[in-house]
Every structure is written in C-alpha cells, then in structure tokens.
A and B are shown apart, each in its own frame.
Chain A
C-alpha cells in the first residue's frame, strides 16, 4: 500500500490491471513517466497537495518539491517557464487548474510554445504538456465551465487531447508526456471520480480514435465526457432498432480521419456531438471533412452560443443530453427515408 495515495502498488509486473478513477489514472501516468525520465517536472498551483482534483496525489512526496513544483498564481509565468524549461532540456507538465484560467497564459501557449519550433527554424523543441481541465463543472457558472478545445485545434504547432475514460487518461497522458511537441491536454472537470479498469501495459497512440459501439445506421462522433452521454443515447436508439457506430475521437488534433471517414462512408450519415458551443465548434470541422470526402449527410449538436449559467435551470440550457442526441440521430435518419 502506498500511504501517500492509498493505492495498491501493483504495477511493475507489466500486467498491472486495477480499477482506478480518472484522477488516479492520471496521477499514475505522471508517476510512471517521472520514474522513467528524470527530466520530467510538474509545475502548477497546489500540485504539492495533489492538485485540486487529486490528479497529482502523492507525487510531491515521491519525487520532491524540486520536481513537483508548487507555484504562485501566475499562469503566464507557469506556462512561459514551462517553455523555457523545455528549451533547456526538461519535459514539463504545466497545470492550469481549469481551461478557463489557461487564458491567463495564452500568449505563452499560442505565441511562444506553439510557434517556437517553427519560428526559430527547428533550433529548439517544446516537449511540454499543458493540462487544462475543461467542460461544465456543476454549478460553477461562466468562468469555470468552458469547453475551448476548438480554439487549440485551430492552432498549428500543438496536439490536442480530450480523454474520456480512466484508461485513456492513463495511456494518453503518458503518450502526451512522451510527445516532443506541445500538447494541450484537456481532462474533463466532472470525470475525475469516474472509475474503470486501467491496464498499465495498454498503450494508446496520439491521434487514434476509439470505437465505442458498432453499428450501420449512422456514425456518431464525440469526445471527452460527452462520449458517455452519447452512449446513453445509443442505448435508447438500440431499443428502437437503430445501431449506431459510436466513435470517441480522443485526440482532436490530429484527429483520426481514417476511422471516422471509413465509418461515414459505410453508414452514409454522421452526427457530431460536443459539449462546446456548436457555432464554430470542432464538430463543424469533422462534419465538413466528412461531407467533402464521403458525401455523407451530416449534422452537428453542441451547446447554444450562451455563457454557462449558474442556476440549475440556466446551466441545463448549455447541456447536450441523451434525449437531444437521440432526437438529432432520428432526425438525420428520418431525413433520407422521407
């Protein structure tokens, strides 16, 4: 038993499989990479106490305050120092606390981290993982509930990852930490407690989608927490005899075009669902690419273009629920049988 984390220390035999939360899976991923590579450091607010979601639990006790660095509330300096550390040979994981706060370090991410390699002609590299949990955090209102992944997918120079399960959070975080380019790593604020089996030996490469369900009626693409909601919608549709091909994109940039487009070519219909505002969302990119390439029918479903409200009845207006997804799927199917 590891007293610092309360977890069984059952790894190292190459076959370790255990049920873990999304947060525990992330902490384990960072632990394994820090054990493997002395150049890995973590920096951010509150990481010494495990981070506000427990995603760094036990790491400072294990690796010391020099490698798991508590920082002032200085997002620009956290992100910018991460760039400088990376240029000087370290592999920093920088914690932004929530994606909404990452906006205070935007120049350092967009103008510095993402452009360094290109702008300086390949003289340097920035192998940095910028973690910035996104999505609606219950009752947290407009500045703690945003889904901004499309901003970063639009930005040349970065990889964008949105893990939906504990296994993916373990495997993709390790892959992100091994990537030699900056990675924007967007965990979901309400998935931290989600538990599932995590196999430490299971690798997931960046850029590879996951097929959650097989079906021929339509292709349904989503990512992050919304994959769960889509899965609920698929249950309802299955009861109606509609078999959905549900794909969890996992990595938004580069996204797995081969898997998605092959599915669209087979089903002839694509619905993309995300928690982010629908207008200008990443679903538009996926839908346009599918339409251009396969000629399939496409539809998108995201949040209305409003900030997230506080009161439950207001917050609910920004949520895309299983009923709405199922309805959008039926509409897509009805259209071409009409």
Chain B
C-alpha cells in the first residue's frame, strides 16, 4: 500500500495510541489483582487499583480509529470499559492512573476511579457505571451543540458528540430512546457500538433478537456502517466518512465495530465460561499485531515500532510510580462537590 508521508505519520499515531492503551490496561490489570471480591476471588487489601476494573484489552482499535477524527471541542461519552476512549480522546495518562489508584491527583480527585474516569477539559464527559446510561447524555450534549450553533451566528456548527457503548447496551431502553431522539432532532452525534460479543459473563448473541446494532439503527433511519473493529485502519476510514457526514449536519450515524473482549468482565474474572477456541481465534486477530504487520509491510522499520512500544511502557511505568507516590485525598474532600446547599452530615 502506498501512503503519503502525512498518512504514514497518522498511521503510526494510530498504532501509538493503541500501544498506550494496551500498556495502560496491562499495568492496571496487574495492579488490580486482589482488588475486589468477585468471581471466586477475595480482595487481599494490598492491591493498588481496587474495585471492579473493566479492561478494554484487545479493543484498542475502536477508540484509536474513531477518536483520531475528534478535537477537544467534540464531546465523548463512554462506558464502564472506558480507559481506551479516555486516552484516545487526549486525557493525560498519569492523571488517569492516579484516578485508578484513588489519589488526590486523579482527574476526579479519587472520587470516581476506573468506572467514572473522565476528563471534561478534553470533552470526555465520563465513563459510566450503568450500561447504556451514556446514550441519553450524549444526545443531550449533541442537542446543546446544535442549539448553540443555531443561536450563534459565528459558530461553525461543526462540533459533534461521539457516544461509545457496548453490544449489551442495545438491549436497554435508553438505546432506543436516544437513537430515536437523535434522529428526530437530526443531531450531530456518532454512535459507536463497540461490540465485544460479551454482556458480562453472558454471550450477547443468544440474548439479542435480530441483526444487532446496525440493523436497529437502520430501522430508525440512521445510516450505519459495520466494520472490523480489530483493524484500526478500517475503523479509521469508516469513522472518517461517518464523522464527516455528522459534521456536515446530516444527522446521526452509527458505527458498529466488531471486536472481542479478550479479558474477563472484570480483571479478576478468568472467563472460564467461554470456549478457549473462541478466545484463541480472537487473539489471532489482535489489532496491535495486525497493525504492526501492516506498518512493517509499508516499510516502517521494526526498530521504530519497537521504540513506540518502549515509550508507551516507560510512560506507564512513570505513571504507576507517580500514582503510587501521590497523596490520598483529604478525608474532608468526601464532603465537597456534593451540592451547594444541604450537603454534609446534617446532624
């Protein structure tokens, strides 16, 4: 494949984004062992990352390919499995790790942790502990963008909202309500179904009637594109077309990215309930290995790609050290940012 120098630079950037997400997830996974009592595991108390940790390992191509088209002015809503979306949107990795550690220097000051990771300063409006909860919030943000564009003569009207959700979310009511809403008001929102095939410990297929996210979107007159979610270049190309249409004011679009959840539902879930052959087949399509093969085939040197990987590992090691050294929140912070009136002990 021939590509221009600019294209080559972008393609290496996609690869780098995936490497940073993978390195972050792997480090968080190690730091979380013994961090939660579930799936037959008992919390040991020594884990640095405590509580349920939902890893996006193996799904990195989806946020990398989509978020490459976004600016900080664009909004993004995410899921409980949201580290990759947050990093790809431009959040600082160290502050993310600090939040996973529950430290004062984290994005949420230790109040949210992994499930509520967010960086509003880059338009990342938050991961969410409730499946499908980001969908109505995303259409509201997009509705505000459209209203503001119509009120402000100087506005370009080209800011958009991207809404990530999983295959499990399409079986909740807010999915229908939000897609209908987006189509009715022709809102600038790109829905991205990151289909990793699993709803917690249940395979999504047998739980889902019909042909899934794309078919449901098309039934509501929302154009949808299905893409191999483990091919970062394919995701990038598909998202480019859809983002352009959404920015042009042509209404909502849906991208259905087929990927696979390599890890369990949470980091301590060994996922022994699934067919080992299914996992093996998925690992054969690992998005990072595939992208590396493509880049090598285009003439990028192995040394350059190795250097990108080393940089990501070093960055994450430094983030772990920084998070470890960072202070805990002041206990008094438990009482701040509740509400202006009536917060506190009230005794």
* Distance from B105 Cβ to chain A, minimum over Cβ atoms (Å): 11
Q: Pick the contact of A254 from B112, B143, B161, B342 — CB < 8 Å?
A: B342
- Give the nearest-CB partner of A181 in chain B: B339
Contact A121 B112 (CB under 8 A): yes
- How many residues of chain B have a CB within 8 Å of chain A? 52
Contact A72 B184 (CB under 8 A): yes
- Chain B, 181-224, contact with A by CB distance < 8 Å: what is the 0/1 string? 10010000000000000000000000000000000000000000
Q: Pick the contact of B147 from A41, A74, A123 — CB < 8 Å?
A: A41
Contact A156 B137 (CB under 8 A): no
Taking CB atoms and an 8 Å cut-off, the chain A residues in 190-232 that contact chain B are: 206-207
Given contacts A76-B174, A88-B140, A121-B108, 9 further A-B contacts (CB under 8 A): A79-B136, A81-B139, A83-B140, A87-B75, A112-B137, A118-B338, A119-B111, A122-B109, A181-B339
Q: Pick the contact of B139 from A77, A92, A181 — CB < 8 Å?
A: A77
* Distance from B112 Cβ to chain A, minimum over Cβ atoms (Å): 5
Decide: A77 near B340, CB < 8 A? Known: A41-B147, A121-B111: no
Q: Give Cα A159 to B342, complex, Å.
A: 8
Contact B181 A74 (CB under 8 A): yes
Contact B174 A156 (CB under 8 A): no
Interface check A295, CB cutoff 8 A = no
Contact B141 A123 (CB under 8 A): no
Contact B112 A87 (CB under 8 A): no
Interface check B2, CB cutoff 8 A = no
Which residues of chain A have a CB within 8 Å of any CB of chain B?
A: 38, 41, 66-67, 71-72, 74, 76-77, 79-90, 92, 107-108, 111-112, 116-124, 156-159, 179-181, 206-207, 253-254
Interface check B138, CB cutoff 8 A = yes
Q: Pick the contact of B120 from A77, A85, A124 — CB < 8 Å?
A: A124
Which residues of chain B have a CB within 8 Å of any CB of chain A?
A: 75, 77, 106-112, 116, 118-121, 125-126, 128-130, 133, 135-145, 147-148, 150-151, 161, 173-174, 177-178, 180-181, 184, 336-343, 346
Q: Give Cα A80 to B341, complex, Å.
A: 23
Contact B108 A120 (CB under 8 A): yes
Contact B137 A83 (CB under 8 A): yes
Q: Pick the contact of A180 from B109, B338, B340 — CB < 8 Å?
A: B340
- Give the nearest-CB partner of B120 in chain A: A123
A-B contacts, 16 of them at CB < 8 A, read: A76-B177, A77-B136, A77-B174, A80-B178, A81-B136, A83-B140, A88-B148, A107-B130, A120-B118, A156-B339, A158-B339, A159-B341, A179-B341, A180-B340, A181-B340, A181-B341
* Distance from A312 Cβ to chain B, minimum over Cβ atoms (Å): 36
Instruction: Write out the residue numbers on chain B whose beta carbons fall within 8 Å of the beta carbon of A119.
Output: 108, 111-112, 116, 126
Instruction: Write out the residue numbers on chain B whose beta carbons fall within 8 Å of the beta carbon of A124.
Output: 120, 125-126
Instruction: Write out the residue numbers on chain B whose beta carbons fall within 8 Å of the beta carbon of A72.
Output: 177, 180-181, 184
Q: Give Cα A85 to B137, complex, Å.
A: 8
Contact A179 B340 (CB under 8 A): yes
Contact A120 B111 (CB under 8 A): yes
Q: Give Cα A81 to B179, complex, Å.
A: 12
Q: Give Cα A83 to B144, complex, Å.
A: 11
Q: Give Cα A159 to B130, complex, Å.
A: 23
Instruction: Write out the residue numbers on chain B whose beta carbons fall within 8 Å of the beta carbon of A206.
Output: 341
Contact A80 B136 (CB under 8 A): yes
Q: Pick the contact of A84 from B108, B118, B139 — CB < 8 Å?
A: B139
Contact B144 A84 (CB under 8 A): yes
- Give the nearest-CB partner of A73 in chain B: B177
Contact B140 A80 (CB under 8 A): yes
